[in-house]
Amino acid sequence: MRQDDILSGQLLDEVALSLDELARACAVDPQWIVQRVEAGVLSGTAQSRTFYFASASLVRARRLINIERNFDANLELAALVVDLMEEVERLKSAVNSI
């Protein structure tokens, strides 16, 4: 499988990903994830010195990676763009439910 291949699937809210699983799913070093958690850009739950992440964190992490890589954006700018993307999705959902 190439880096450009598109994978699709269904996210399950009940599934928690470990730090290593999230890093593998995003094709990044686990330290990349830890840096984003420490910066408050990704949210994870720490249990027994191990981070666990909800499936929504996978989507957010992949968006951050794409913004950082494709636009050579720093962490803060990528986080702002992803926040705006999520807000647009939330507003579209609210409009569609009316």
Alpha helix segments (H runs only) across 5-74: 19-26, 30-38, 55-71
Q: Are 11 and 58 in contact (CB under 8 A)?
A: yes
Three-state DSSP at 10 gives coil
pLDDT tens for each residue of the chain, 98 residues long: 555 555 555 555 567 999 999 999 999 999 999 999 999 999 999 888 889 999 999 999 999 999 999 999 999 999 999 999 999 999 999 999 98
The domain spans of the chain are 16-96
Element (H, E) at 83: helix 75-96
User: Which overall architecture, per CATH, does domain 16-96 show?
Assistant: Orthogonal Bundle (1.10)
- Whether pTM > 0.85 for this model: the answer is no
